[in-house]
Amino acid sequence: MENHMIHYAKDQSFAVPQMNINGLIWIEGVLSAAEKLNAPIIIGTTDKNIEYLGGYDFIYQTIKNKIKAMQITVPVSIHLDHGLTVENCKSAVDAGYDSVMFDGSKLSIEENIKLTKEVVDYAHAKGVIVEGEVGAVGGEEDGLIGQVRYADIDDCIALVEQANIDTLAPALGSVHGKYQGEPNLGFEEMEILGQKIDIPLVLHGASGISNSDLQRAIDLGHAKINFNTEINISWSNQLRDTLNESEELFNPQKILKPSIGAIEKTAERIINICGANQQNKVFTQR
């Protein structure tokens, strides 16, 4: 993954934010924020949502068309988050995605390595990079529910070496959705992993983690950080406020525009805490 934005971020000690989208207004909000702050970003579409988003081809082309229509000049990478099967990952690769994640969190490590490698072989042949996962990020994301299962260090090394992945998401205590209590991340494990493997780490479940813990994770090798819940909370809070202002309101633009502003503002905060602002650069591989 030479000259890839995540590789560059690791070298420069910042993280590229992955912001998941749930439709057109999310695309618009995160692109506006990236352009304003001159930041490379990753737009994530989670596999569980693909049908709702219109399918791999449709959503990929829609994001591309929106980038063109808004005359976006910063690098934007399009990523499949939590690919549920090998076939689904291949479909995203065929649609043009820049990167895919294979979610092997429910499998034995042997099966996880085998299927992740299948995705890697297919994706690499088309210049697409692959994120692997060890352990399980807990919580709920778009109806996908799971318990936290800490990543085993030896399993992480085995996945990196045997499946030849480009980035690794080790589950170390973070959860999708809202945290019950304070997040308790495995910084010691992150430190050990950083010494044993060379590829960039990916942090899932970043909404609700303090800025100082996010910075610590970046210092310990995380070069891609995923956000979904925080964006959706700010969007829905604004939407509720707007609708509560007047029962007479039915003009869609008047209802939705403030909520796009809320997405944009949250995306700006995320870009800034990841240190990705002003990191625009030409990448030959996204």
Q: Which of 47, 57, 81, 152 is catalytic?
A: 81
Which residues 81-120 are close enough to bind ligand 13P by CB under 6 A? 81
For residue 2, the minimal CB distance to ligand 13P (Å) is 25
Dist CA 3 CA 15 (whole Å):
15
Cβ atoms of 81 and 53 closer than 8 Å:
no
* Contact flag: residue 133 with ligand 13P (CB under 6 A): no
Among 199, 227, 238, 286, binds ligand 13P (CB under 6 A): 227
For residue 36, the minimal CB distance to ligand 13P (Å) is 21
**Strands in 210-254 per DSSP E:** 222-227
Single out the segment in contact with ligand 13P by CB under 6 A; choices: 25-33, 63-71, 145-153, 200-208: 200-208
Using the structure block, give the residue that is written with the tokens 């109806």. 143
Q: Closer to ligand 13P by CB, 104 or 205: give it.
A: 205
Cβ atoms of 235 and 256 closer than 8 Å:
no
Is 81 a known active-site residue?
yes
Q: Which positions ≥6 away from 148 have C-beta within 8 Å?
A: 135, 136, 137, 138, 139, 171, 173, 175
Phi-psi region of 38 (alpha: psi -120 to 50; beta: other; left: phi over 0): left
Q: Closer to ligand 13P by CB, 272 or 280: give it.
A: 272
Counted residue by residue, the chain has a size of: 286
* Contact flag: residue 226 with ligand 13P (CB under 6 A): yes
Contacts with ligand 13P: how many residues (CB under 6 A)? Answer: 14
For residue 71, the minimal CB distance to ligand 13P (Å) is 28
Closest to 81 (Cα-Cα) out of 34, 38, 47:
47
* Contact flag: residue 22 with ligand 13P (CB under 6 A): no
Q: Which positions ≥6 away from 270 have C-beta within 8 Å?
A: 17, 19, 33, 227, 230, 231
Angle between helix axes 211-219 and 252-274 (nearest 10 degrees) is 50
Using the structure block, give the residue that is written with the tokens 């690794």. 168
* Contact flag: residue 228 with ligand 13P (CB under 6 A): yes
Among 47, 103, 166, 230, binds ligand 13P (CB under 6 A): 230
For residue 250, the minimal CB distance to ligand 13P (Å) is 31
Dist CA 213 CA 102 (whole Å):
26
Buried b (16+ CB within 10 A) or exposed e, 231-242: bbebbeebbeeb
Among 204, 222, 224, 286, binds ligand 13P (CB under 6 A): 204
Among 4, 10, 14, 20, binds ligand 13P (CB under 6 A): 20
Q: Closer to ligand 13P by CB, 11 or 140: give it.
A: 140
For residue 229, the minimal CB distance to ligand 13P (Å) is 4
For residue 240, the minimal CB distance to ligand 13P (Å) is 19
Chain residues that interact with ligand 13P, rule: CB under 6 A: 20, 81, 141, 176-177, 204-207, 226-230
**Residues carrying an active site annotation:** 81
